[in-house]
Amino acid sequence: MQFDTPATTNPIDQLKVVGKPIHRIDGELKTTGRAMYAYEWRDPNTRYAYGYPVGSAIAKGQITAIDSAAAKKAPGVLAVVTTLDVGNLQKGKLNTAKLFGGSEIQHYHQAVAVVVAETFEQARAAAAMIKVDYAPQKGAFDLRAELATAQSPDPSTEPDSSSGDFQAAFSTAEVTLDAEYTTPDQSHAMMEPHASIAAWNGEEVTIWTSSQMIDWWRTDLATTLGVDKEKVHLMSPFIGGGFGGKLFLRADAVLAAFAAKTVGRPVKVALPRTMISNNTTHRPATIQRIRIGADRDGRITAIGHESWSGDLAGGGPETAVMQTRLLYAGENRMTAMKLATLDLPEGNAMRAPGEAPGLMALEIAVDEIAEKLGMDPIEFRIKNDTQVDPENPERPFSHRDLVGCLKLGAEKFGWDKRASAGSRREGKLMIGMGVAAAFRNNLVMPSGARVKLDKEGIVTVETDMTDIGTGSYTIVAQTTAEMMGVGIDKVAVQLGDSRFPVSAGSGGQFGANSATSGVYAACVKLREAVASKLGFNSKDVIFENEEVRSGNRAVGLAVAAGPDGLVGEDTMEWGDLTKTHQQSTFGGHFVEVGVDIATGETRIRRMLAVCAAGRILNPITARSQVIGAMTMGVGGALSEELAVDTRHGFFVNHDLAGYEVPVHADIPHQEVIFMDETDPYSSPMKAKGVGELGLCGVSAAIANAIYNATGVRVRHYPITLDKLIGELPDVA
Ligand code: MOS
C-alpha cells in the first residue's frame, strides 16, 4: 500500500482497541522470566559452548602477533579464533568501524579474538592468557584540540543551511546572545548487553541476538561472513533496551558466528559490560555555538547554530543543529556542522540523535535570551512559534501544537509560582523551575507484515518488527484486533524473525507508527481476501464481533477462514507527504529542582512532559516511553559522561559504576500528558512517535531549573557539583 494522500476515516478510527490503555501482552512472559532474551535461548538437546571476547588494548595501530598457545591449553578451551585467523572481512554497509578481522586497529576494545570453552568461566579465564603485540600509532582523541582540522560533512546529507542575511541581522539586533555549550560523549547503557548465539547447519547460520533492525543486521552479517543473505536466519524476539546501540550489526554476532563454525557447535557470546562502551557505538560529544538576535518585543530576527563533533574516518557528525532549522521563526538564519576525525570508538545514533544534544544547548540559549529580554521563557517561545518551515514558508507543518503543550504544561505545573532566579529557598535547598520545548521529527519507514486468519478465528501477525521494551507486541495486536473486528485475545503476534516480512524496525521513533501502518496494510489485504472468498463487496463489509457482515449477511471469521485459513501480506510504502509537509512531534518539559546550597547537589523534585505526537496508540506504553526518556534526560543533565582518556584514546568509565545513569531513587514524581490530537498526514494510524520526543529538551529544562534555583548558568553538561559549587551564594 502506498500512503500518499492524507488519511480519511478508516477502521482504526473506531478506537475500540487502538488508543486504549492495554497492558503489554508480553508483560507476563517478562515478569515471570519466560521471555527468552538472546543469551538465554536454549534448546534442551544442544550443548552450547561459550565464547569470551578479547578487546584491543590500543586505540590505533597494527597487531603484529597474537600468542594464544597458553589459552588453547587452558582447561575446557575448545578453540581460539583471532582477528588474524579470519583475515580481512568485508565491513557491513552500516558499520563505520570494522567489527573483526585483519590486523588494523581502529579503536580501543575493537574485538581481536574470541576464546571458546565449555563454560563461560573457562572462556573468560583463558581470554586473559591471550597475548597481543601491537605497533601503535598516534591517534587524535580530543575534540577540542581538533577543531581547526574539522571539515564540513557530506553536503548531500548534512548541508549547511542559510536563509536571509544572518550576519547582518545578528550584528544589528537590539538584544543578542552568543554562547558556547558542550555535551559529552554518552553511552546507551541499555540493561541487556549485546549478545548472540550462533548455530550453523551446513552453510546456513541461525543467530539469536539482540537487534533493533533485523534486516539491517541480516544484510550486514551476510556481507561480513561472506555468505548469501538467504543463508542467514536472525531471531530477536525480546530485546532488553537498545536506544540506538543495537541499530547496527555488532561484534558479538560476528564472533559467535566464527566461533560456532570453528568448534562445530552452537556458541554464545555476550559483550562483557566493561567492553560495551569502547567496543560498540556512543553518542558523540559536541561543542555548539548558538547566536540569537531579537528585537525589544522579543521577536527573533537572527538565529544561528553551529556544531562541532568527531568520528572515525568515514563516519558522520552528530546532527545537533537540525532542530534549529525548524523550531522557531526568524527571517535570518544559519546552521553549520563541522566534523573532526577522531580515533575514539565509533560515534553513532543514540536516542534522538541530533535533537537530544542539540536541544540540550538550544533550549538553554532560549532561556538566556528570554531573560535578557526580561520575558517569561514560555511567552518568548510562543511569540516565536511558526506553523510553517521557517526556511520554506510555503511548506507547512502537518500539525504543530507546541504552543498548546507549553500553555497546558504551565497551567498544570504551576508555572505562575516560579520565582526570580536565586530567590526561593526551603531550608538548605534553593528551589527552581525550568522549562524547555521538545521537538523531534516524525520519520516514516517502509514496513511489511503478514496476517493469517485460521479456522479457529485466531489472527496471527508475522513481521520482523522488534520490541525493544517499547510495546510493539501490544500495539501491533491492537491494530490487528481493530482492523479485523476481534478482541485482542484472538490475536497472536510474532516479531523479530528474519523469515517474516521486513518491517521498519525500532529506531528514530518511527517504529510504532510505521510498523502498525504495515500491519494496517496487511490487514486491508486480509479483509479483501475474506470478503472476496465470501463473495462480499469489500467496500461495504464490516468486521465486528468476530464476524464479517455485508448487508444482511453475516459469517463468522473462523468459518470464513475455512480449514486452510486466509492470509494477507503487504508493505506500507510512503509517498511525498513528508516532503510537502514538515512532520514533527512537539512537547513541553517542566522540571522543578532543589539544589543544596552547601554542596551543590541537585535533586529533581517534579517533572512534567506534555506531548503532541498525533494519535496515541496506547497511553500506557506511550507513557512508559516518555517517562523512560525523561529519566534519560535526567542522566544527561546531571551525571552521564563518557570520560575520554585523551592520551590513550578510550572511555575510562566503561562500566555502570563509573558511567552514572539515574536510578530509581533519583527520579521523583513524573507526569505525562498527551494532547488529544491526530495527524492524518503521518499514516492511516494518524499517529507519530514519542520514544525520542520524551528525551528532547529534558536536560535543558533541568539546566534552566538549576539556573532559576541558583542564579548560576552552566552551559557544559553534565551539571555536576564542581560546576556549581564555586558559584553558589556564601552560606554562613
Ligand atoms: Mo534510535 S537512536 O534510531 O534507536
Q: From the CB of 349, is ligand 1 less than 6 Å away?
A: yes
Task: Say if ligand 1 is within 6 A of residue 501 CB.
Answer: no
Q: Would you put residue 244 in left (φ > 0), alpha (ψ -120 to 50) or beta?
A: left
- Residue 164 φ then ψ, to 5°: 65, -150
Q: Is the CB of 353 under 6 A from ligand 1?
A: yes
Q: Which amino acid is at 342?
A: L
Chain centre to alpha carbon of residue 497: 21
Give residue 219 CA to ligand 1 midpoint distance, Å.
18
**Domain boundaries defined on the chain:** 2-34+444-578, 397-442+583-732
- What is the phi/psi pair of residue 402, to 5°? -60, -40
- Report CA(428)–ligand 1 centroid distance (Å): 40
Q: Which atom of ligand 1 is nearest to the CA of 351?
A: 2
List, for residues 289-305, the tens digit of each pLDDT value. 999 999 999 999 999 99
Question: Which residue intervals of 329-421 are DSSP H helices?
Answer: 355-373, 377-383, 402-413
**Which atom number of ligand 1 is nearest to the Cα of residue 506?**
4
Q: Whose CA is nearest to atom 4 of ligand 1?
A: 244
In one-letter notation, the amino acid at residue 207 is I
CATH 3.30.365.10 is the classification of domain 2-34+444-578: yes
Closest among 272, 250, 242, 192 to 353, alpha carbons compared: 242
Q: How far apart are CA 617 and CA 22, in angstroms?
A: 10
Task: At 293, list the grid cell.
Answer: 538576535
Atom of ligand 1 nearest to the CA of 243: 4
Q: How high is the pLDDT of residue 451?
A: 98
Among the listed residues 382, 302, 363, the one whose alpha carbon sits nearest the alpha carbon of residue 707: 363
Q: Give residue 548 CA to ligand 1 midpoint distance, Å.
A: 40
Contacts of 313 (CB under 8 A, 6+ apart): 341
Annotate 613-660 with three-state secondary structure: CEECCCHHHHHHHHHHHHHHHHHHHHCCCCCEECCCCEECCCCCCCCC
Q: Which residues of 203-239 are buried (b: 16+ CB within 10 A; e: fewer)?
A: eebbbbbbbbbbbbbbbbbbbbbeeeeeebbbbbbbb
- 670 φ/ψ angles, rounded to the nearest 5 degrees: -120, 135
What are 536's three cell numbers? Answer: 462480499
397-442+583-732 and 2-34+444-578 share a CATH fold: yes
Q: Which residue has the cell 537572527?
A: 302
Cα–ligand 1 centroid distance for 381 (angstroms) = 28
Active site residues: 692
Which positions of the chain have pLDDT values less than 50? none
Distance in angstroms (rounded) separating the CA atoms of residues 174 and 190: 46
- AA identity, residue 377: P
Element of type H or E holding 126: helix 120-127
Q: Which residue has the cell 561543542?
A: 287
Report yes or no on whether pTM surpasses 0.75: yes
- Regarding the beta carbon of 322 and ligand 1, being less than 6 Å apart is answered no
Q: Please indicate whether residue 348, judged by its CB atom, sits closer than 6 Å to ligand 1.
A: no
User: How close is the Cα of 574 to the center of ligand 1, in Å?
Assistant: 20
> How far, in Å, is the centroid of ligand 1 from the Cα of 188?
10
3-state percent breakdown (helix, strand, coil) of the chain, nearest 5: 30, 30, 45
pLDDT one-digit tens code per residue, 145-168: 999 999 999 999 999 999 999 999
Mutate to test the pocket of ligand 1, among 247, 319, 322, 695 (most ligand atoms within 8 A of CB): 247
Which ligand 1 atom is at minimum distance from the Cα of 212? 4
Q: Is 614 in the pocket of ligand 1 (CB under 6 A)?
A: no
244 in contact with ligand 1, CB cutoff 6 A: yes
The best mutation among 213, 351, 444, 514 to test binding of ligand 1, ranked by most ligand atoms within 8 Å of the C-beta, falls on 351
β-strand partners of 282:
347
Looking at residue 732, its pLDDT comes to: 54
**What is the gyration radius of the CA atoms in the chain, in angstroms?**
27
Residue 391, phi then psi, degrees to nearest 5: -85, -25
CA-angle at 294, arms to 291 and 298, nearest 5°: 130
Residue 363 has phi, psi (to 5 degrees) of: -80, -15
Distance CA 519, CA 687 (A): 14
The CA-based angle 491-493-496, given to 5 degrees, is: 175
Ligand 1 close to Cβ of residue 508 (< 6 A): yes
* Nearest C-alpha neighbor of 499 from the set 191, 236, 234: 234
662 lines ligand 1 (CB under 6 A): no
For a ligand 1 pocket test, name from 692, 693, 695, 696 the mutation site with the most ligand atoms within 8 angstroms of its C-beta.
692
Q: Distance between CA 101 and CA 340 in Å, rounded?
A: 26
pLDDT at 539: 81
What's the 71 CA to ligand 1 centre distance in angstroms? 38
Write out the three cell numbers for 206. Answer: 541461525
Peptide bond just before 718 cis, omega within 30 deg: yes
What is the number of the ligand 1 atom nearest to the C-alpha of 508?
3
Q: Is 478 helix (H, G, I), strand (E, B) or coil?
A: helix
CB 316 within 8 A of CB 154: yes
Q: What is the CATH topology of the domain spanning 397-442+583-732?
A: Aldehyde Oxidoreductase; domain 4 (3.30.365)
Spacing of C-alpha 673 from chain mean position: 21
Do residues 114 and 255 lie in contact, with contact meaning Cβ atoms separated by under 8 Å?
Answer: yes
- CA separation for the pair 86, 224 (Å, rounded): 11
**Ligand 1 center–CA 244 separation, angstroms:** 4
At 47, the amino acid letter reads R
The ligand 1 atom at the shortest distance from the C-alpha of residue 352 is 2
Ligand 1 lined by 507 (C-beta under 6 Å) = yes
Q: How far apart are the first and last CA of the chain?
A: 71
Q: Which grid coordinates are listed for 315?
A: 563516519
pLDDT for the residue numbered 260: 98
Instruction: Please tell me the number of Cα atoms within 13 Å of 174 on its side-chain side.
Output: 11
**Alpha-carbon torsion, ordered 368, 374, 376, 382, to 10 deg:** -80
CA–CA dist 368, 365 (Å, integer): 5
Q: Give the Cα separation of 614 and 676 in Å (integer).
A: 8
